[in-house]
A and B are shown apart, each in its own frame.
Chain A
Amino acid sequence: MTTTIEPPELISPEEPGGPDGHTPAAHRGEDDHAHHQGPTGILNWLTSTDHKVIGKSYMITSLILFFIAGIMALVIRAQLTTPTASLVSFQTYNELFTMHGSLMMYLFAGPFAFGGLANYIVPLQVGAPDMAFPRLNALSYWLYLGGSITMMSGFLVAGGAASFGWVSYAPLSNATNSPGAGADLWLMSLALTGFSAIFTGVNLCATIFYLRAPGMTMFRVPIFSWNMLVTAILILIAFPVLFGAVVMLFCDRHFGTHIFTVQGGGVPVLWQNLFWFFGHPEVYILALPYFGMVTDIIPVFSRKPLFGYKGMVFATMSIAALSTGVWAHHMFTTGVVLLPFFSLLSYMIAIPTGIKFFNWIGTMWGGQLSFQTPMLFSIGFLFAFLMGGVTGVLLASPPVDFMTHDTYFVVAHFHQVLIGTAVFAGFAGFYFWYPKMFGRMLREDLGKLHFWGLFIGFWVCYMPQYVVGLDGMPRRVAAYLPSNGWTTLNVISTVGAFIIGASFLFFLVNLWVSWRHPIPAGDNPWDGGGLEWFTTSPPPHHNYSQLPPIRSERPTWDYNHPEHRTIHAGRHVKPSDTPSEDEKVGASS
């Protein structure tokens, strides 16, 4: 074990050239302020086409919307501590849960992942200087910001914001039942943010297919980027359908069409079919990126490569493929869908999801696990998603869905799934890549307080909701009867929600402390394996001037630990091994 292997020779990435005509940074680690000719300050932010600036803008915007939606959730929970509508009126309550769901689903969970972290991390992971279409990327962000403001402005108009639930079922959402500009702003916002998502999807596909660094074959792309590719394809399948449905509903509301109204010969349930054909892939658009984050994080803190890399890729693809054929499991109680087909496909999603679980466990198996904040959040994700996943299997059964549909059982289920992914895994990703993005560390102690608050609050909040749902409490009710006996469970759930809310104070303090008293992160604080850890923190304008040889999905690890480097699946290089001919050829190409 005394012999060490010299790190392989570094290679230069292809001349990025770039759409802006920048030259690459001269040296690894050198920032390029010197030759990045352009506006500075706010004008730089407004005009930037740099994926890192856009990614950060996405993240900041989506986190602000996350906090707004979270405060709405706390108002909703506070209302339910008493049976009567004691805090807000029925109308306000309906607006609040509609906007809470819409902000979380359309404006936080998706954009935070594919607009924020993916925008920032994917080009770094595949060794690209930027996204394939930087100006389209900027357009995506501005459409997203415009769409978000459009949706929020619903609160300012007469009649209030949209109040028909985030799924906007026809005919409740038509002009007769939901008059007022709030509903129109909601629809317009979906159109704008939908296009933002489509453009980002195009960009991610093109970047991952065409801008990979030399040596990075598809099966060396890190799982986070793989999942973003699959997510992007799902976006291209799902969002155009949503846009079509939104346009149809808008025509019903304003141009006298009767697509979703019985009176004119339309079919209301068509909206549900179109919406859920978008909506179920959307669930995986919200889940796959977060699976990818966890899949990248667990190996780093286990000091091992990912277990079952190809299994992971195929599991992701199967989930995506199946997700386009399960939409009607949201419609089991409509009475107009073929139950066994949608039930079977929904059950089948459990299989690739199970594979992922066992791969995560296999990655930790035999490792040296250290529990820094990103790893804690990842483990929190495993437990949260396990619970949400098991109850999800129950809901794939139509009779069980009949008994629990639209009750708090379902509310608890999808909150556990979505908080498991978008919050536990999302913040795991945020804590993990924050040092790369800002060049400074977040505090471990505050991060751990954040984690434990979230973890405890999560179980206190949602476990009672399963019980109260099985006891018959429907979702989206602003009041219930004292004789229902649901008060105690609702109070417990609300306490949990406020614990979750409080835990985010630690997060905000953490950001503030890290901003005021920075601890420099260095290039690779976690000893990560992905290519993104090879460049500086934060990376220079064009990301890389030199790249390590890419022989696996973790080239930085291979470079830093040549005696433990990955050659190919199933092999562990012995210290006496010397680089093969193949690698020498690759390194010089």
Chain B
Amino acid sequence: MPTSVIAVKAVTNGSPGRPRPADRATAEPSGTSGHPGPRHARRWRRRALAAAIGAPLVLGGCNLYPTYGASRGVTTQGQETFKLYSGMMTTGIVVGGLVFLLILWTIFRYRKRSEEMPRQFHDNFRIEILYTVIPVIIVAFLFFFTVITENNVDAVVPVNATVTATGNPVVDIRVTAFQWGWRFDYTGLNVGVAGETTEGPNNHGPQMVVPVGQTVQITLVSDDVIHGFYVRDFNFSRYALPGVTNFFDLDVMHAGTYNGQCTQICGLYHSEMLFSVRAISPAAFHLWARAEVAAGHTLQRSGSSAQDNPPPNTHITNGSGYNTPAEAKGDQ
């Protein structure tokens, strides 16, 4: 494999004797893959470069986005939100910390030491301009990242689409909040799960089962007053507003069970309006759906017709207020 060695030497600029990641390429039993030598070497070169650049990033990754008490998010949307939150917290700690130290230092440095009258100055135009302009820049910076994240988190696939633009299957779930419980209707699967949450002590409420790796589109409505659909590990909440149909997408990345709860005061048993989300593999999800149908947990026709024929005063929105799913469909 002389070509391979030459290629590696070219990358490492001919400094033999020192162990280098790229040197391992020569020891690798190459040729078994059937690729020509130079391509093989280039792959190793890329890996070496990635290791050199990536290692500090990976090692520092936990420092780049510290959690600051929040969940890293188990949905793609939640992970984006988390990164924004973490970045803003870092900015806030740095800026707030500097102001904090400035106040502390001023208090300490200029504490009364004598009866001498301090210089009676009023203003300093240049400094005042400076501390007006700097916050403007910080705010512009934060707003820029906010808008990017917001658009990603709020993006929805067209209503009634069965696959996303990338061919990922879409599962539609109509979530109905009511005093005091939740109903999860899987419109495409003829499954309906409901649960009141005041059925006994330590009742964790009904469970919404979702497939991992697929897009879940939630249609959120309320039967009575305003409720809040909130799952801590999704880093997301949305009101269930009477008269409004809200849509949002969740792409759950990790299997597990996640606690959810109503966050908007909705009357006497607001505290107990719990639910949970269980994310399982798509295969297990379809088995579960079939078992639910067999057990008679099917759609109640009465509660699920509003999506097709919204009442005249119903807003349909995806959350950003200016881009309804119907319009989004037109864009595609």
A-to-B contact residues, CB < 8 Å: 85, 90-91, 94, 164-165, 169, 171-172, 177, 262, 265-269, 302-311, 333-340, 343-344, 347-348, 350-351, 354-355, 357-359, 361-362, 364-371, 379, 382-383, 386-387, 389-391, 393-394, 396-400, 402-403, 405-407, 466-467, 470-472, 474-482, 484, 561, 564, 566, 569-572
Contact = CB atoms under 8 A, between A and B. Distances in A.
B245 to A, nearest CB: 9
The 10 A-B pairs at the shortest CB distance, nearest first, are namely A472-B232, A406-B263, A403-B235, A470-B69, A262-B243, A477-B271, A390-B96, A335-B319, A474-B263, A335-B246
A57 to B, nearest CB: 34
Given A368-B116, A379-B107, A347 B121 contact: no
Interface of B: 68-71, 78, 80-82, 84-85, 88-89, 92-93, 95-96, 99-100, 102-103, 106-107, 110-124, 127-128, 131-132, 135-136, 138-139, 142-143, 146-147, 149-150, 153-154, 179, 202, 204, 224-226, 228, 230, 232, 235-239, 241-244, 246, 248, 259, 261-272, 274, 311-313, 315, 317-322
Given A351-B136, A366-B121, A368-B110, A164 B265 contact: yes
B88 A383 contact: no
A493 to B, nearest CB: 14
B193 to A, nearest CB: 20
A68 to B, nearest CB: 21
A472 B238 contact: no
A566 B271 contact: no
Contacts of B204: 481
Given A171-B224, A387-B96, A311 B128 contact: yes
Contacts of A344: 143
28 contacts: A90-B268, A169-B225, A171-B242, A262-B313, A266-B243, A268-B242, A304-B119, A335-B246, A335-B318, A336-B241, A340-B147, A347-B139, A350-B139, A354-B132, A362-B127, A364-B110, A368-B113, A369-B111, A379-B103, A397-B84, A399-B153, A400-B146, A405-B263, A406-B228, A406-B263, A476-B265, A481-B202, A566-B122
Contacts of B259: 472, 484
A466 B82 CA distance: 16
Given A265-B313, A366-B121, A406-B230, A335 B106 contact: no
A386 B150 contact: no
A343 B321 CA distance: 13
A400 B85 contact: yes
B321 A335 contact: yes
Contacts of A304: 118-121
B150 to A, nearest CB: 5
A386 B202 CA distance: 39
A338 B89 contact: no
A338 B268 contact: no
A90 B110 CA distance: 52
Contacts of A358: 127-128, 131
Nearest to A91: B268
Contacts of B69: 466-467, 470-471
A383 B202 CA distance: 40
Contact of A402 (B127, B135, B237): B237
A211 B148 CA distance: 52
Nearest to A357: B99
Given A169-B264, A307-B121, A399-B85, 16 more contacts: A311-B123, A339-B150, A339-B319, A343-B143, A350-B138, A351-B135, A362-B124, A390-B92, A399-B153, A403-B70, A405-B237, A474-B230, A476-B270, A477-B261, A477-B270, A484-B259
B268 A361 contact: no
A361 to B, nearest CB: 6
Contact of A368 (B85, B114, B322): B114
Contacts of A355: 128, 131-132, 135
A269 B116 CA distance: 60
A380 to B, nearest CB: 11
A474 B261 contact: yes
Contacts of B80: 399
A115 to B, nearest CB: 29
Contacts of B263: 405-407, 474-475
Contacts of A164: 265, 267
Interface of B, helix, strand, loop or mixed by DSSP: mixed
B271 A480 contact: yes
A476 B226 CA distance: 14
Nearest to A468: B69
Contacts of A302: 110, 118
A383 B100 contact: yes
A253 B197 CA distance: 28
Contacts of B321: 335-339
Nearest to A347: B139
Nearest to A171: B225
Contact of A335 (B107, B153, B317): B317
B133 to A, nearest CB: 9
A367 B261 contact: no
Contacts of A338: 320-322
A340 B322 CA distance: 10
Contacts of B265: 94, 164-165, 169, 172, 475-476
Nearest to A343: B146
Contacts of A569: 122-123
Contacts of A362: 124, 127
A393 B110 contact: no
A504 B80 CA distance: 44
Nearest to B311: A262
Contacts of B270: 94, 476-477
Contacts of B238: 333, 335, 402
B88 A361 contact: no
A164 B122 CA distance: 49
B230 A367 contact: no
A397 B332 CA distance: 28
Given A398-B146, A472-B259, A476-B265, A336 B315 contact: yes
A311 B317 CA distance: 42
B146 to A, nearest CB: 4
Contacts of A343: 143, 146-147, 150
A91 B270 CA distance: 10
B106 A365 contact: yes
Contact of B153 (A268, A337, A402, A477): A402
Contacts of B147: 340, 343
B243 to A, nearest CB: 4
A268 B96 CA distance: 38
Contacts of B243: 262, 266-269
A269 B332 CA distance: 30
Contacts of A311: 123, 128, 132
Given A171-B242, A471-B232, A570-B121, A386 B261 contact: no
Nearest to B85: A400
Contacts of B248: 335
A485 to B, nearest CB: 11
A390 B81 contact: no
Contacts of B261: 472, 474, 477
Nearest to B130: A358
B271 A334 contact: no
Contacts of B132: 311, 351, 354-355
Pick the most buried of B88, B263, B317: most chain A CB atoms within 10 A of its CB.
B263
A393 B140 CA distance: 12
Given A177-B225, A334-B239, A354-B135, A307 B117 contact: no
A366 B118 contact: yes
A123 to B, nearest CB: 26
Given A165-B265, A406-B264, A399 B123 contact: no
B118 A572 contact: no
A396 B96 CA distance: 16
Contacts of A365: 106, 110
